[in-house]
């Protein structure tokens, strides 16, 4: 950069030592709204408490002049001489204003954006030095954008500081500044700043920017920390603002102070919501200063932050949809038009209402005539819909089609399910899934709580509960043997094969013992020639008993007794043995993990004998059950709480529980 002191009329000319086409690219890279926003940011960086933008039009409603007026500290004369000759090294970088505000400008390019608005730009500024206020003017033209003329400073009669940017000879492409949504676009841009500094006032063509007046909902989230390739851990913040008006949805990249640097489409579905999401981290300032921010899709670290933001946005709008649905139903109840009274008496009634709510909320969303109708009409329609769903699918179709007049695709969608099955079947299926989710949660409580872990016994308590819920080991199994000897295991095995089982000699372990099997589950697997049988033999241990060498030896004895007894041989049968408890000791864990060519948990495997022995923890079994139920759980949008799960187990299996767990239910 170089400074040229001109003697003409006492005016100083500063020249930016850069090619004119570079300045032109800076100017052309901004839209009209973005360029005016840069002028406002410059005013705010000067500690302005009030900024006013005026779009002056002529008689033909064309733009004559643009003014950006602020009451900030002005531009000190010495600072103008240096800052207007610099490009890419702004004095603002890393600084705060005199009043402690974070500064937006970092690269010294903002003033050149004015050239995208007009060919002639003037900065009339007043600043205070000691006890005097000085005034002077800076002028630039796009004819020679490298040069700025700075007039001599004079003592100002106006004792208030501030700067007025006046842009003349406007471009022909500025109609967007007069569009109806221009005011809203500026509101979106400065929403975070005005939330952080509520005393600041910005007016656009006489209208005060007030984000609160046009916002529906505002929330801020701390994202999960992301570990970058260079080892840094970065935690971004995400602010989501939902608007009352239509907006172009954006995910805005901001620095840590909330200054917008770049934006992309949000990349999520959020039906019915108009929003802007602001992703804040100083990492984006680094990318912006190095001109890498526009390449965010190619940078793995940026992708991590964006994906975390998308996950958070999806979760947010799922919650908001649920809230909106609840609000609608609550309003129906307040208006006394909801066709149910009081609380559901049981889970069946609860699911029945949920089915009704789903149908009714779809009607409310897709049928404007319904949502706009009076309370009497709504009440009639809701009661008709309730009766139709309960009566028959055909009746529901007639009500939906002729009374509520849903769009055709929604008629088919809502009626198809009711035509394929009955409402009773839907409710029963939903209840079965909910019961199982509550059982799994209740089982966790009694297995891992202090009372359960220390008081629960395998045969007296746990065994009896599990025997009635063998589905946790797989839907295809049925209970064959419950707490009986290996000889009874043989008897059941032969019965499945339709073989003679009279006068059976006892089955002995290698040491001569009889052995008692906790549970044996069996299933048939259809094959082209003859069915294959699969037996699952389970050895349960109380929660306080880890799986130790003693336990694994016991299950191995049972398995080897089967392997050595010739009466079990020569049949298409696969034997699987599980030892199950809350945990295992270090020796067993080391023995059954990180085995070459074997999954974790296998203790012994003999392909020639069709025998496999596993050690399993309850956490693994419960997690596998939840995985099988996850799809249905998501569809029902149901999460079993610990209280609900424990109550379910206590209600159904109280006779099998130790007194400590029974007393907890009774509140003793």
Q: Which of 382-396, 418-432, 520-534, 648-662 has the highest mean pLDDT?
A: 648-662
The pLDDT, as a whole number, for residue 370 is 74
Instruction: Identify the band that residue 95 occupies on the pLDDT scale cut at 50, 70 and 90.
Output: low
The pLDDT, as a whole number, for residue 219 is 94
The pLDDT, as a whole number, for residue 502 is 60
Among 139, 112, 128, smallest CA distance to 47 is for: 128
Spatial CB neighbours of 251, under 8 Å, sequence gap ≥ 6: 263, 264, 265, 266, 267, 277, 279, 306, 309, 310, 313
On the question of pLDDT at 179 being above 80, the answer is: yes
The pLDDT, as a whole number, for residue 133 is 95
Among 289, 10, 255, 16, smallest CA distance to 145 is for: 16
On the question of pLDDT at 340 being above 60, the answer is: yes
The pLDDT, as a whole number, for residue 481 is 61
Among 460, 461, 426, 448, smallest CA distance to 645 is for: 448
On the question of pLDDT at 530 being above 80, the answer is: no
Averaged pLDDT for residues 426-433: 72
On the question of pLDDT at 8 being above 50, the answer is: no
The pLDDT, as a whole number, for residue 7 is 31
Q: How many CA atoms within 13 Å lie on the side-chain side of 393? A: 16
The Cα–Cα gap between 396 and 358 comes to 14
How many angstroms separate the first and last alpha carbons of the chain? 83
On the question of pLDDT at 322 being above 80, the answer is: no
Q: What percent of the chain has pLDDT over 90?
A: 19
The pLDDT, as a whole number, for residue 666 is 36
Query: pLDDT averaged over the chain?
Result: 79
Averaged pLDDT for residues 630-655: 81
Angle between helix 282-289 and helix 300-334 axes, rounded to 10 deg: 140
The Cα–Cα gap between 639 and 665 comes to 20
Using DSSP's 3-state secondary structure scheme, residue 525 falls into strand
The pLDDT, as a whole number, for residue 526 is 55
Largest CA distance in the chain: 126
The pLDDT, as a whole number, for residue 161 is 95
Instruction: Identify the band that residue 664 occupies on the pLDDT scale cut at 50, 70 and 90.
Output: very low
User: How many Å separate Cα 198 from the centre of its chain?
Assistant: 29
CATH number assigned to the domain covering 2-208: 3.30.565.10
Question: Which of these ranges, 170-174, 211-215, 478-482, has the smallest mean pLDDT?
Answer: 478-482
The pLDDT, as a whole number, for residue 367 is 67
On the question of pLDDT at 211 being above 70, the answer is: yes
User: Residue 298 class from Cβ within 10 Å (0-12 exposed, 13-18 middle, 19+ buried)?
Assistant: exposed
Domain boundaries defined on the chain: 2-208, 212-319, 347-420, 456-629
Averaged pLDDT for residues 440-450: 86
On the question of pLDDT at 313 being above 90, the answer is: yes
The pLDDT, as a whole number, for residue 129 is 92
On the question of pLDDT at 493 being above 70, the answer is: no
Domains 2-208 and 456-629 share a fold: no
The pLDDT, as a whole number, for residue 525 is 56
- The DSSP code sequence of 43-110 is HHHTT-SEEEEEEEE-TTS-EEEEEEEE-S----HHHHHHHTT-SS--TTTT-B-TTSPBP---SS-G
The pLDDT, as a whole number, for residue 435 is 87
On the question of pLDDT at 645 being above 90, the answer is: no
The pLDDT, as a whole number, for residue 611 is 87
Among 52, 63, 277, smallest CA distance to 174 is for: 63
Q: Which of 217-226, 364-373, 410-419 has the highest mean pLDDT?
A: 217-226
The pLDDT, as a whole number, for residue 505 is 60
Higher confidence at residue 360 or residue 512? 360
The pLDDT, as a whole number, for residue 5 is 38
Instruction: Identify the band that residue 514 occupies on the pLDDT scale cut at 50, 70 and 90.
Output: low
Q: Which of 20-29, 106-115, 153-162 has the highest mean pLDDT?
A: 153-162
On the question of pLDDT at 96 being above 70, the answer is: no
For residue range 549-575, list pLDDT tens digits in order. 998 988 888 888 777 766 666 667 788
What DSSP designation does 596 have?
T
Paired strand residues for 466? none
Instruction: Identify the band that residue 368 occupies on the pLDDT scale cut at 50, 70 and 90.
Output: low
Q: How many CA atoms within 13 Å lie on the side-chain side of 94? A: 3
Averaged pLDDT for residues 377-390: 75
The pLDDT, as a whole number, for residue 398 is 58
Averaged pLDDT for residues 594-601: 84
Q: What percent of the chain has pLDDT over 70?
A: 75
Instruction: Identify the band that residue 275 occupies on the pLDDT scale cut at 50, 70 and 90.
Output: very high
On the question of pLDDT at 429 being above 80, the answer is: no
Residues 382 and 340: beta-carbon distance below 8 Å: no
On the question of pLDDT at 665 being above 50, the answer is: no
Question: Which of these ranges, 168-177, 303-312, 331-340, 415-424, has the smallest mean pLDDT?
Answer: 415-424
The pLDDT, as a whole number, for residue 306 is 92
For residue range 118-145, list pLDDT tens digits in order. 889 999 999 999 889 999 999 999 888 8
Higher confidence at residue 126 or residue 449? 126
On the question of pLDDT at 246 being above 50, the answer is: yes
The Cα–Cα gap between 34 and 145 comes to 19
On the question of pLDDT at 169 being above 50, the answer is: yes
The Cα–Cα gap between 163 and 543 comes to 75
On the question of pLDDT at 622 being above 60, the answer is: yes
- Topology (CATH) of 456-629: Trna Endonuclease; Chain: A, domain 1 (3.40.1350)
On the question of pLDDT at 432 being above 70, the answer is: yes
């Amino acid at each position: 950069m170089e400074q040229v002191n001109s003697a003409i009329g006492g005016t100083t000319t500063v020249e930016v030592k850069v090619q004119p086409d570079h300045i032109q690219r800076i100017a052309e890279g901004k839209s009209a709204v973005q360029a005016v926003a840069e002028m406002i940011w410059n005013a705010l960086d000067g500690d302005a408490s009030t900024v006013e933008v005026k779009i002056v039009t002529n008689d033909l409603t064309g733009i004559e002049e643009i003014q950006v007026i602020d009451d900030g500290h002005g531009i000190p004369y010495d600072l103008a001489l240096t800052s207007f000759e610099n490009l890419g090294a702004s004095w603002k970088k890393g600084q705060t204003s005199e009043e402690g505000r974070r500064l937006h400008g970092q690269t010294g390019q903002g003033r050149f954006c004015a050239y995208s608005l007009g060919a002639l730009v003037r900065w009339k500024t007043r600043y205070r030095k000691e006890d005097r206020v000085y005034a002077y003017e800076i002028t630039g033209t796009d004819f020679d954008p490298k040069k700025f003329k700075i007039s001599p400073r004079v003592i100002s009669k106006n004792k208030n500081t501030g700067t007025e940017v006046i842009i003349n000879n406007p471009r022909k492409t500025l109609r967007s500044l007069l569009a109806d949504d221009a005011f809203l676009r500026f509101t979106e841009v400065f929403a975070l700043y005005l939330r952080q500094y509520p005393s600041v006032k910005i007016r656009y063509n006489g209208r005060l920017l007030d984000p609160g007046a046009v916002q529906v909902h505002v929330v801020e989230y701390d994202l999960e920390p992301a570990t970058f390739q260079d080892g840094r851990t970065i935690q971004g913040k995400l602010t989501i603002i939902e608007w009352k008006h239509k907006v172009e949805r954006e995910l805005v990249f901001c620095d840590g102070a909330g200054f917008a640097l770049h934006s992309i489409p949000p990349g999520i579905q959020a039906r019915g919501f108009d929003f802007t999401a602001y992703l804040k981290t100083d990492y984006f300032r680094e990318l912006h200063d190095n001109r890498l921010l526009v390449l965010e899709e190619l940078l793995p670290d940026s992708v991590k932050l964006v994906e975390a933001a998308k996950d958070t946005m999806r979760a947010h709008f799922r919650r908001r949809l649920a809230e909106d649905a609840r609000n609608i139903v609550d309003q129906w109840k307040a208006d006394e038009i909801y066709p149910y009274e009081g609380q559901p008496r049981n889970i069946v009634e609860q699911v029945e209402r949920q089915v009704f709510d789903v149908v009714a909320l779809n009607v409310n969303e897709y049928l404007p005539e319904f949502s706009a109708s009076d309370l009497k009409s709504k009440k009639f329609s809701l009661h008709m819909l309730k009766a139709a769903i309960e009566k028959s699918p055909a009746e529901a179709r007639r009500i939906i089609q002729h009374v509520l007049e849903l769009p055709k695709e929604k008629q088919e969608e809502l009626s198809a399910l009711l035509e394929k099955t009955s409402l009773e079947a839907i409710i029963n299926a939903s209840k079965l899934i909910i019961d199982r989710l509550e059982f799994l949660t209740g089982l966790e409580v009694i297995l891992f709580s202090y009372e359960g872990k220390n008081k629960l016994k395998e045969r007296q308590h746990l065994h009896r509960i599990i025997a009635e819920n063998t589905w946790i080991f797989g839907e295809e199994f049925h209970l064959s043997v419950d707490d009986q000897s290996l000889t009874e295991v043989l008897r059941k095995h032969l019965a499945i094969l339709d073989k003679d089982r009279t006068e059976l000699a006892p089955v002995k372990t290698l040491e001569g013992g009889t052995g008692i099997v906790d549970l044996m589950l069996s299933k048939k697997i259809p094959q082209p020639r003859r069915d294959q049988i699969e037996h699952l033999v389970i050895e349960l241990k109380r929660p306080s008993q880890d799986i130790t060498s003693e336990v694994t030896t016991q299950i191995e004895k049972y398995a080897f007794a089967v392997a050595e007894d010739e009466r079990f041989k020569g049949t298409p049968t696969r034997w699987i043995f599980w030892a199950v408890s809350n945990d295992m000791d270090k020796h067993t864990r080391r023995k059954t993990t990180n085995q070459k060519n074997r999954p974790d948990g296998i203790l012994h495997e003999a392909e020639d004998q069709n025998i496999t022995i596993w050690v399993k923890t309850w956490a693994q079994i419960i997690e596998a059950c939840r995985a099988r139920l996850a799809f249905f759980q998501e569809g029902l949008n149901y999460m079993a709480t610990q209280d609900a799960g424990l109550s379910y187990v206590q209600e159904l299996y109280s006779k099998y529980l130790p007194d400590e767990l029974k007393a907890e239910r009774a509140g003793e």
